[in-house]
Structure 1
Amino acid sequence: MVTSFPQLRGEAANHPLARVLRTVSADSCPGRLNFHCHTTCSDGSLHPRELARQAAAIGLEHFAVTDHHSMAACPQVQAALNELASEGVTVPTLWSGVEISCLLEGCLVHVLALGFNPDHPALAIYLRGEAVVGPALRSEAVVAAIRAAGGLALLAHPARYRLSHQRLLTAAAAQGFDGAEAWYDYAMQGCWAPTPLVCEAIAGALAERGLLQSCGTDTHGLELRGR
């Protein structure tokens, strides 16, 4: 089964995925951890089963599929992992994940929801295949829904928006985000690697605020090691 946490109790620090995210560093992705990738169930090119095969072949320990507003790939990925495990292949732990659009400081951003209960009604409106409109698009509403479903809310690729990552991280911290994607390939290279300086700055800002750091390839192509 997909690893999730049905009800967040106390602070985010008690979430089981938080223990994994505390180990994130510049060299965690793409070989050990990957909490941002896409399949054909949204705007990716990898079939869910192929993504699962590549995740196992790379040797990932933990990962999440974060299609936009969709959990359709998750059962297919888990089924493929189960088949590989039955053949004696070491497979990674799959955490529930989805990428949700929202407004933060009036800027359209993406939030990675991780480790939540996919069946919780609070998230249903965000799992219909497209971004919502109205009050539910506000970041406060999105974070509240993720929390209600027992998940963690992390700001995706903070340096890809029209507002500075400094401003967005300050706002995210004030609104109860649990962290952000610190390590990201803004240069979009063929083989994923974190972008110097900007990633270090984001990681430092998160550490100062006591927030969690994530990492991910944001794969949309055919190779899980690249974007």
Structure 2
Amino acid sequence: MTRIDLHCHSTASDGTLTPSELMRAGAEAGLDVMAITDHDTTGGWDEAAAARPEGLKLVRGAELSCRWFGAEPAIALHLLAYLFDPHEPQLAADLVRLREDREQRAEKIVELLRADGVDISWPEVHGYAAGGSVGRPHIAQALIRAGLVRTTNEAFASRWLGARYFVPKTDLDVFEAVRAVRAAGGVAVFAHPNATVRGRIVPDKLIVDLAAAGLFGLEADHEDHSPQQRAQVRALAGDLGLVVTGSSDFHGTHKTVRLGAFTTEPWAYEKIAAAATGVPVLG
């Protein structure tokens, strides 16, 4: 049976395995196809490609920070972009802007924590990112080191990064993001669209409109979806003619989920690979 995991993170954003380690872990987990989808960056692509084990196909992608402005306040959501040309001017500029904003946001959060006497520093947090895109999980690592929380999930609770020390970030308008991914020859899939455990979710009508704008698929099988939510996503995808994906959303030790915990059917992966014209699948 072909095992395909299309949503995995490395130290290029907020995972705990380097891109090389991620590739080795994918092979050890028995994956046949895996995607590297770091937040708002392609920074891990080259290392992952160089380290790809024989027999493991690599889908290069990114998870884009987006927002739907049709509600008040606007609703944050994530878009998985696969096999796009990283040099396409509009999307490349969008990614630079998102990464710069992520870093400025993280620095502001550290300043707020330090103002309250929390023993962490910006050099420490920046160092945890190891040259990748800085995010709140790196601040969580510093809080764990300081003995203030035990886990990343605890750090993301309202007492810490979830509310008290929350700083909003700049996101892409989701319609503009879908258009930019398509213009770069990529394929866009809505990540964990019904994950109410993450907060507010968008109405189905938005997904209908996104499908008309070029959205290619919906991620149904994900740890943050209940069985009922997975069924709802599958039904909506079927109504709209969208592909259905499943994936681990692996972050290493930042999460308990394992590589290949949820997988994508070969037919859906093949449709994604055939539709993309930006960069090819490696392997």
Q: Which residue of 1 aligns with 2:32?
A: 61
Q: Which residue of 1 aligns with 2:85?
A: 117
* Contact 1:68/1:98 (<8 A) preserved: yes
* Contact 1:159/1:165 (<8 A) preserved: no
TM-score by length of 1: 0.72
Distance change >3 Å, CA 77–CA 141, structure 1 → 2:
same
- Compute the displacement of 1:130 (Å): 4.8
1:147 to 168, 182, 199: 182
Unmatched runs of 5 consecutive residues or more in structure 1: 1-27, 188-194
Structure 1 residue 198 and structure 2 residue 229: aligned?
yes
Q: Which residue of 1 aligns with 2:146?
A: none
Determine the C-alpha separation between the residues in 2 that align with 1:171 and 1:108.
Answer: 17
Determine the C-alpha separation between the residues in 2 that align with 1:156 and 1:210.
Answer: 17
Indicate the SS of the match to 1:67: strand
One-letter amino acid matched to 1:181: E
Determine the C-alpha separation between the residues in 2 that align with 1:164 and 1:72.
Answer: 29
* Contact 2:247/2:261 (<8 A) preserved: no
Alignment of 1:149-168 (within 5 A): 149-160=184-195, 161-164=199-202, 166-168=204-206
Count of residues paired in the alignment:
183
Q: Percent of aligned pairs with the same residue?
A: 35
Determine the C-alpha separation between the residues in 2 that align with 1:225 and 1:96.
Answer: 17
Determine the C-alpha separation between the residues in 1 that align with 2:222 and 2:194.
Answer: 9
Alignment of 1:4-43 (within 5 A): 32-43=3-14
- Compute the displacement of 1:36 (Å): 0.8
Q: Which residue of 1 aligns with 2:217?
A: 179
Q: Which residue of 2 aligns with 1:24?
A: none
Q: Which residue of 1 aligns with 2:160?
A: none
Determine the C-alpha separation between the residues in 2 that align with 1:138 and 1:101.
Answer: 9
Post-superposition Cα deviations, 1:84-139, rounded to whole Å, max 9, x if no partner, equal 33xxxx3x2111200111122331111000121122222112332256988x8211
* Contact 1:69/1:127 (<8 A) preserved: yes
Structure 1 residue 51 and structure 2 residue 31: aligned?
no
Indicate the SS of the match to 1:185: coil
* Contact 1:158/1:165 (<8 A) preserved: no
* Structure that is richer in helix per residue: 2
Post-superposition Cα deviations, 1:150-192, rounded to whole Å, max 9, x if no partner, equal 00111110012413553442342243211111111117xxxxx
Unmatched runs of 5 consecutive residues or more in structure 2: 103-168, 263-283
One-letter amino acid matched to 1:101: S
One-letter amino acid matched to 1:212: V
Determine the C-alpha separation between the residues in 1 that align with 2:260 and 2:100.
Answer: 26
RMSD over aligned Cα atoms? 2.5
Post-superposition Cα deviations, 1:170-226, rounded to whole Å, max 9, x if no partner, equal 342243211111111117xxxxxxx31110110111011101112211111244346
TM-score by length of 2: 0.59
